[in-house]
Amino acid sequence: MSSVRLALRVLRVDGRTRTSAILTGLGVAVATALVLLLVGLPFATEARGERSMWQEPSYSSGEDGPATLLLTSSEDYADGSKVERVDVAPLTDPRAIDLPPGIDRLPGPGETLLSPELARLVDGTPGSQLGDRFGEVVGVLGEDALQYPDQLVALVGHTPQTITPGALRQDGFAVGGAEQDPLLQLLAGVGVVVLLVPSLVLVASAARLTAARRERRLAALRLAGATPRQVVEMVAAETAIAAVGGAAIGFAVSPVLHSLAAHVPWNGGTWQPGDFTLPLAVSLPITVAMPVLVLLAAVLALRRVVSTPLGAAGSHARKPLHWWRLLALPLAGLAFTLAVTADEPTMMTVLGGLLLIVASAALVGPWVTSAVGGIFVRIWRRPAMLLAGRRLRDDPRGAYRASAGVVLAVFTGSMALTLLPTFESMAGSSSPYRDSVLYVPGLDAAEARQIAERADADLARYGQRERTAQVGEVYLSRGPDSGESAMVLDCASAGTLLRLDMDGACAGQPGVYAEYPMNLNGVHVSAIWNEPGPALAADTPVRPIRATDADVSSVPVIDPAVLPSGFEPQAVTVAVAATEANREVVRTALAGAAGGVQVESREMRLADQQTQLEDLRRVTVIGLIAAGALSGCSAAIATAGSVMDRRRTFGALLAAGTPVRVLARALRTEAAMPAMVATVGAGAVGVLVGMGLFSLVDDGSVVLSPWILAPVVLGVGVALLAASVCRPALNRVRAEPLADE
């Protein structure tokens, strides 16, 4: 009889083998689908990037052909949401310009094309709060022109004369050459490890359901004269049926997973389901590799049966684990500490240290598991702890393997959740402007005047009392290669616009306002760094002020009244203070007047940092939940397997009158203990490593948030999942209390 036919017969007649095969297939399916998704993430960011390439200026364009258009892009915000604004002016016949996919025409001067989501917002919002920033809406952008389906984008048309002077000359819109998001590349790599391990543990747990029975069958076959090759072929055939089926199912259902993943925002928005589609050259090898790996593991696990069939059929003693395993963690910790405390830490050495810590868990974990088992065996008072202790002590590698997925997930999660709240607490910037202020920096004096006039006119038209202020940027110096920057602004406006407490300084004569003592004798003021300029009057008063926040970059403020006669700053910022009530109206006036020049604000300063931190937190939580669910399923199957392994003993105990609930309680504790212990250990190491990583970027202390408890919740969840199967498994045993194998 061929190996495949024998495997099929076993599957047909043996329900437990069938269950094991189904669970193995399920584990392989989950692992395949997850790997396909995770490997697809960087490709997905590339697909997104390709669609939105046109939204960025092409800095290298124009070198290989005549410029056909002027283009500038800026970030705008509508009620806190980011709007990508692209201003364009054709330098040639617009019909001769190649348009990117999703754009069917180039907007003329004063016209605009909006993304569907932005068009919907504009329709539902008064023009003074949004629509007036862009011009007449003449069409919508297609999905192919958007980074993600709900992206807010405006393509605003100009003439070469009306577009901002900062616009770049380029030969058409930028196309091709988008790069993968390096952060998501890194996270996908971590995700593959964090999720693949519990998936494979799930497969191993499923295989364990029939391990004892299969070992006996194979040992019997070996004793009956089957060659090692025949035994290996039989196991390979038995496993291949489940693994190949699972991989095929994983491949088939991966589009469903992609559709779900498309709803998870990253970098500001969701995805198009097609973004995750992998090239066949990548997806097929992965789909083939998964069952091959599982087959390899199954065949390797046969070593004992193949070499000594009698050894497998009988009992075997386990060697105690050596204490030197314990050294792996401190050594890895030392390597990691050296890497993060080096004068110039490099990414490679830090990642190397991190990998060593993760790898050390494989050596230390079983030893700690065995040690915990030893403690339980010494201190037990209830049979549950005795059973758990003996199991942990007898097979620490197996017990740890069942928790390996949780260990990895909890370690990674604890590390991330130690870092994230700390980074969030640091989010902010050293901008001198108050959060309420909207401003356009880096303008020349003439452009600033134009923008200020247009913005003031619009503010008046919208019935707002606020008006723009023009803040000059100058340098104070005593000679060549020296000096510091200063802002030119009257005292009252400085108190309104800047994060400064003028502290009564505005009451006296105009002067220079600074946080620290200044001697203005011999100090010159210049419009450009290291250029000569006129001297400030030596008797110019210097008045003390103080910054309202610790993170503000303190810059002296010079009242325009004390500037030398005829001196005019060349770099100017146009700024307006808004209230929460009129913020969108003020932004519309300023953005409309700026015509594509970047309007900066608190949203812009914080949005990117917060978006990235939110993304990281989201993927961490999703990763933890996925890893927890997988680990929980593995642990549950492993628990069912351990009950089934001892079914005759438990059947005997039940027959002898031990209530199912009592035995179930004992087994629940036995199943939950390893996951609990693993959770605590991995969580503690994760927090320590997180603190080490944080020390790379800041000397401050780590902020611990309630999120740090998430891994504990995960561990409890896994333990509960694992324990939940005890009772049904025992009920099944009771149904045939003394059935023979």
Partner 1 sequence: MHPQTTDRPGQLTAAAPALAGRNLVKRYGAQYALAGVDIDIQPGEAVAIVGPSGSGKTSLLHVLAGILKADSGEVLLAGRRIDQLGETKRSELRRTEFGFVFQSGMLVAELSAEENAALPMLLAGAARGEALGRAREWLGRLGLSGKERNRPGELSGGEAQRVAIARALAHRPSVIFADEPTGALDTRTGRDTMDALLGAAGEHGAAVVIVTHDRDLADSVPRTVAIRDGRIDTAGGTA
The answer to whether 95 contacts partner 1 (rule: CB under 8 A) is: no
> For residues 416 and 616, is the Cβ–Cβ distance under 8 A?
yes
Query: Going by DSSP bridges, is the β-strand pair 437-444/152-157 parallel, antiparallel, or unpaired?
Result: unpaired
Given 22, 168, 652, 704, the residue binding partner 1 (CB under 8 A): 652
The answer to whether 657 contacts partner 1 (rule: CB under 8 A) is: yes
DSSP code of residue 63 = S
Report the alpha-carbon distance of residue 728 to residue 722 in Å, rounded.
12
Smallest distance, Å, CB 633 to partner 1? 25
Whose Cβ is closer to partner 1: residue 451's or residue 653's?
653
Query: Site mask, partner 1, residues 665-694, x = CB under 8 A?
Result: -x----------------------------
Q: Which among 24, 16, 398 has a CA at the least distance from the CA of 210?
A: 16
Smallest distance, Å, CB 662 to partner 1? 5
Whose Cβ is closer to partner 1: residue 166's or residue 383's?
383
The answer to whether 656 contacts partner 1 (rule: CB under 8 A) is: yes
Whose Cβ is closer to partner 1: residue 13's or residue 317's?
317
Question: Please, what is the end-to-end C-alpha distance for the chain in angstroms?
Answer: 24
380-419 residues near partner 1, rule: CB under 8 A? 380-383, 386-387, 390-391, 393-394
Report the alpha-carbon distance of residue 462 to residue 391 in Å, rounded.
76
Smallest distance, Å, CB 651 to partner 1? 8
The answer to whether 735 contacts partner 1 (rule: CB under 8 A) is: no
Smallest distance, Å, CB 659 to partner 1? 5
Name the residue with tokens 């003031």.
456
Whose Cβ is closer to partner 1: residue 609's or residue 658's?
658
Q: In whole angstroms, how large is the CA radius of gyration of the chain?
A: 34
Given 407, 415, 636, 663, the residue binding partner 1 (CB under 8 A): 663
The answer to whether 105 contacts partner 1 (rule: CB under 8 A) is: no
Among the candidate windows 259-267, 493-501, 567-575, 661-669, which touches partner 1 by CB under 8 A?
A: 661-669
Smallest distance, Å, CB 400 to partner 1? 16
Edge-to-edge, what's the strand order for the sheet holding 168-170? 136-140, 111-114, 152-157, 81-90, 69-78, 168-170
- Beta bridge partners of residue 502, listed in sequence order: none
Q: How far is CA 688 from the centre of its chain?
A: 20
Whose Cβ is closer to partner 1: residue 188's or residue 384's?
384
The answer to whether 715 contacts partner 1 (rule: CB under 8 A) is: no
Q: Which among 212, 702, 62, 610 has a CA at the least distance from the CA of 416?
A: 702
Whose Cβ is closer to partner 1: residue 617's or residue 665's?
665
Whose Cβ is closer to partner 1: residue 402's or residue 663's?
663
Q: Which among 184, 680, 68 has a CA at the least distance from the CA of 414?
A: 680
Whose Cβ is closer to partner 1: residue 85's or residue 393's?
393
The answer to whether 658 contacts partner 1 (rule: CB under 8 A) is: yes
Smallest distance, Å, CB 666 to partner 1? 7
Q: Which among 429, 452, 434 has a CA at the least distance from the CA of 573?
A: 452
Given 653, 667, 682, 689, the residue binding partner 1 (CB under 8 A): 653
The answer to whether 655 contacts partner 1 (rule: CB under 8 A) is: yes
Q: How many residues does the chain have?
A: 741
Helix (H/G/I), strand (E/B), else coil: 153: strand
The answer to whether 738 contacts partner 1 (rule: CB under 8 A) is: yes
DSSP code of residue 535 = B
Q: How far is CA 188 from the centre of its chain?
A: 9
Given 445, 662, 704, 720, the residue binding partner 1 (CB under 8 A): 662
User: What is the identity of the amino acid at 25?
Assistant: G
> For residues 258 and 276, is the Cβ–Cβ distance under 8 A?
yes
Q: Which two tokens stand for residue 376?
A: 């339980």
- Beta bridge partners of residue 498, listed in sequence order: 433
257-316 residues near partner 1, rule: CB under 8 A? 315
Among the candidate windows 343-351, 547-555, 657-665, 698-706, which touches partner 1 by CB under 8 A?
A: 657-665
Q: Where are the beta strands (DSSP E) in 478-570?
A: 484-488, 500-501, 512-514, 524-526, 542-544, 546-547, 557-558
Q: Which among 473, 554, 553 has a CA at the least distance from the CA of 517?
A: 554
Smallest distance, Å, CB 677 to partner 1? 17
12-51 residues near partner 1, rule: CB under 8 A? none
Name the residue with tokens 């390597």.
335
Whose Cβ is closer to partner 1: residue 492's or residue 739's?
739
The answer to whether 646 contacts partner 1 (rule: CB under 8 A) is: yes
Count of residues near partner 1 by CB under 8 A: 29
User: What is the identity of the amino acid at 690?
Assistant: G
Q: Which among 200, 89, 95 has a CA at the least distance from the CA of 633?
A: 200
DSSP string, 684-710: HHHHHHHHHHHHHH-SSPPPP-GGGGH
605-624 residues near partner 1, rule: CB under 8 A? none
Given 317, 550, 581, 735, the residue binding partner 1 (CB under 8 A): 317
The answer to whether 374 contacts partner 1 (rule: CB under 8 A) is: no
Whose Cβ is closer to partner 1: residue 542's or residue 662's?
662
75-104 residues labelled b (16+ CB within 10 A) or e (exposed): bbbbeebbbbbbbbbbbeebeebeebebbe
Whose Cβ is closer to partner 1: residue 391's or residue 668's?
391
Crossing angle of the two packed helices 396-426 and 347-379, in degrees rounded to 10: 130
The answer to whether 359 contacts partner 1 (rule: CB under 8 A) is: no
Whose Cβ is closer to partner 1: residue 610's or residue 649's?
649
The answer to whether 319 contacts partner 1 (rule: CB under 8 A) is: no
Among the candidate windows 5-13, 378-386, 495-503, 678-686, which touches partner 1 by CB under 8 A?
A: 378-386
Whose Cβ is closer to partner 1: residue 352's or residue 383's?
383
Smallest distance, Å, CB 367 to partner 1? 19
Question: H/E/C letters for each residue in 237-248?
Answer: HHHHHHHHHHHH
Q: Which among 401, 291, 405 has a CA at the least distance from the CA of 32?
A: 291
Whose Cβ is closer to partner 1: residue 103's or residue 654's?
654
Whose Cβ is closer to partner 1: residue 449's or residue 665's?
665
Given 553, 649, 701, 731, the residue binding partner 1 (CB under 8 A): 649
Q: Which among 402, 393, 404 has a CA at the least distance from the CA of 369?
A: 393
> For residues 155 and 107, is the Cβ–Cβ distance under 8 A?
yes
Whose Cβ is closer to partner 1: residue 161's or residue 315's?
315
Smallest distance, Å, CB 381 to partner 1? 6
Q: Which among 649, 631, 616, 641 has a CA at the least distance from the CA of 729?
A: 641
Given 274, 311, 659, 700, the residue binding partner 1 (CB under 8 A): 659
Query: Going by DSSP bridges, is the β-strand pair 437-444/168-170 parallel, antiparallel, or unpaired?
Result: unpaired
Neighbours of 277 (CB within 10 A): 17
The answer to whether 648 contacts partner 1 (rule: CB under 8 A) is: yes
Name the residue with tokens 């490890």.
193
Among the candidate windows 275-283, 415-423, 524-532, 656-664, which touches partner 1 by CB under 8 A?
A: 656-664
Whose Cβ is closer to partner 1: residue 94's or residue 737's?
737
Smallest distance, Å, CB 258 to partner 1? 45
The answer to whether 53 contacts partner 1 (rule: CB under 8 A) is: no
Among the candidate windows 27-35, 68-76, 192-200, 654-662, which touches partner 1 by CB under 8 A?
A: 654-662
Residues 6+ apart with CB under 8 A from 292: none
Name the residue with tokens 């606020």.
466
Q: Which residues bind partner 1 (CB under 8 A)?
A: 315, 317, 380-383, 386-387, 390-391, 393-394, 646, 648-649, 651-659, 662-663, 666, 737-738
